[in-house]
């Protein structure tokens, strides 16, 4: 089968559907790859890079579409591109079927098969194909970069000879993939970060990144919807939500909004009055601009200044980091084609929950929206918390585990035999081995016991389990070496003992240093 990679024609779209690394992976699956000349140039992937991995460069756009069995794109096909698609061809791209009904009918008339990357179900097995989350991750990070560019002050606080500089205060609305990426990026720049989400389970994730989670006094209402997405909240909750945002708007310098509800226009969370209450120089980055915006003053693809507040409504944030976004998107495409069976076993399996979820058109027949997955597994975006039936299952499993962990007669007998065997072995060594061996054997046993106990019992907060094991072994070596150094004369044993102490001490100190650096990444 032939896969075609056309140049994106959507305005300001810089990404490319397949990068050279992806081409190489698909070639190994048996696919033939055609790449339109210049398709990857805006993402820093020139034609020579594709030719190096075996792709054929096609200069004529019509030829590429006519020869390709599968077209892979980033943006949904435009009307001019639909005309180029051969009958019964396949398109894989972002598609947004809920708002592209006319496009859906056009492709249906061509008996096309369409797999929408934005419809990949958010189940654990599909994480490797979740291009939507990877693009949201890039957008969240880039939103902070754009905010920093427009904000006329530092993010981090400083004390200088000219006076104290207060850190920027950032409010992030929405704790999905984009929101969490924004929390991490803003915190990394030194800002005071606050975040809000209707899903209470997001609290732990926000706090793990160093942000402060804002919560309303609505303990009986959670915003968790299907698949880890948010749901529409009650009017009372929305009123309390807006009141919270109005209070925060007066205090913060930057607001980043990411709130979306699948299949609906973005909720209006920032009013004109809130914008006018913010300090001059403040910034709002609206990641929901393409779906109408969370701010009432947002204009898609524009930067608006209102009462001294900059409102950024860019809809191409992932495209502004085209090289990285293309690589992430390409990886998702490769995994999806692998899921479809590669070249040799390519098949649209209607029984596969992932494939069925992404399938929008099947040989011209509309298959969207898909039925709910039969065995979806857990959504991986957030922890939705236990349900009553889940709690009962866990209790039953716990009881079974407790019973299985109780010592049985067989286990007790095995332990007794091992103890007796160890005792017989020690007696045998003590009665048959020479005195010189016994002294070294005593040192070895003592070193094992003392060294292991000293290092292994270090609190987990100061030591990772893996490092504990390695450092415990080093502790054994240190104790043994110290005991060897007690000899009155300097000989080869003493020299080797000194070297062992030195090297093991370096290893232990390095272990603690590495552990400290690892744990520092998770400190708030």
* Residues designated as active site: 122, 127, 130, 133, 229
For 31, the 3-state DSSP assignment is coil
Q: Label residue 450 exposed, middle or buried (CB < 10 Å: 0-12, 13-18, 19+).
A: middle
Q: How far apart are the first and last CA of the chain?
A: 51
Task: Tell me which residue of 105, 87, 91, 109 sits closest to 6, measured CA to CA.
Answer: 91
Judge contact between 23 and 53, C-beta under 8 A.
Answer: yes
Strands (E), 187-267: 192-196, 212-214, 254-257
> C-alpha distances in angstroms, 20 versus 38, 67, 72, 135, 212?
13, 20, 14, 19, 41
Give residue for tokens 């039925």. 371
Judge contact between 167 and 191, C-beta under 8 A.
Answer: yes
Judge contact between 176 and 136, C-beta under 8 A.
Answer: yes
Task: Tell me which residue of 94, 89, 91 sits closest to 74, measured CA to CA.
Answer: 94
Give residue for tokens 């991750």. 137
CA dist., res. 326 & res. 319, Å (int): 8
């Amino acid at each position: 089968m032939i896969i075609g990679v056309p140049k994106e024609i959507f305005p300001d779209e810089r990404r490319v559907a397949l990068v050279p690394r992806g081409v190489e992976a698909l070639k190994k699956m048996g696919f033939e790859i055609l790449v339109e000349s210049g398709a990857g140039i805006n993402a820093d992937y020139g034609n020579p890079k594709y030719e190096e991995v075996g792709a054929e460069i096609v200069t004529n756009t019509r030829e590429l579409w006519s020869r390709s069995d599968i077209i892979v794109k980033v943006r949904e096909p435009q009307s001019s591109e639909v005309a180029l698609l051969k009958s019964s061809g396949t398109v894989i791209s972002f598609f947004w079927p809920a708002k592209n009904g006319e496009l859906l009918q056009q492709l249906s008339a061509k008996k096309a098969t369409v797999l929408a990357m934005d419809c990949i179900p958010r189940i654990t097995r599909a994480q490797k194909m979740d291009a939507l989350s990877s693009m949201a991750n890039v957008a969240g990070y880039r939103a902070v970069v754009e905010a920093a560019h427009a904000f006329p002050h530092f993010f981090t606080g400083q004390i200088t000879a000219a006076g104290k500089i207060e850190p920027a205060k950032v409010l992030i609305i929405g704790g999905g993939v984009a929101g969490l990426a924004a929390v991490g990026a803003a915190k990394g720049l030194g800002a005071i970060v606050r975040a809000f989400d209707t899903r209470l389970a997001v609290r732990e994730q926000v706090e793990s990144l160093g942000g402060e989670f804002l919560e309303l006094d609505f303990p009986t209402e959670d915003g968790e919807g299907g698949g880890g997405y948010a749901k529409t909240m009650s009017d009372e909750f929305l009123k309390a939500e807006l009141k919270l945002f109005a209070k925060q708007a007066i205090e913060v310098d930057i607001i980043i909004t990411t709130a979306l509800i699948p299949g609906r226009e973005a909720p209006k969370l920032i009013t004109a009055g809130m914008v006018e209450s913010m300090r001059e120089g403040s910034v709002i980055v609206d990641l929901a601009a393409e779906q109408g915006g969370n701010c009432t003053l947002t204009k898609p693809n524009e930067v608006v200044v209102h009462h001294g507040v900059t409102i950024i409504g860019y809809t191409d944030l992932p495209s502004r980091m085209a090289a990285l976004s293309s690589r992430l998107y390409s990886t998702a495409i490769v995994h999806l084609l692998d899921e479809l069976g590669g070249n040799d076993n390519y098949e649209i399996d209607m029984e596969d929950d992932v494939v069925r979820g992404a399938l929008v058109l099947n040989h011209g027949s509309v298959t969207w929206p898909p039925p709910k997955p039969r065995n979806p597994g857990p959504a991986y975006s957030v922890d939705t918390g236990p349900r009553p039936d889940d709690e009962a299952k866990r209790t039953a499993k716990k009881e079974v585990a407790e019973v299985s962990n109780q010592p049985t007669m067989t286990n007790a007998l095995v332990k007794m035999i091992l103890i007796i065997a160890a005792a017989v072995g020690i007696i045998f060594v003590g009665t048959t081995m020479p005195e010189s061996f016994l002294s070294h054997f005593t040192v070895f046993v003592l070193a094992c016991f003392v060294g292991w106990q000293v290092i292994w019992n270090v609190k987990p907060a100061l030591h990772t389990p893996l490092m504990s094991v390695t450092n415990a072994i080093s502790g054994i070596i240190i104790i043994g070496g110290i005991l060897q150094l007690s000899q009155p004369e300097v000989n080869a044993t003493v020299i080797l003992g000194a070297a062992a102490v030195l090297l093991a001490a370096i290893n232990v100190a390095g272990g603690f240093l590495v552990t400290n650096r690892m744990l520092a990444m998770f400190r708030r």
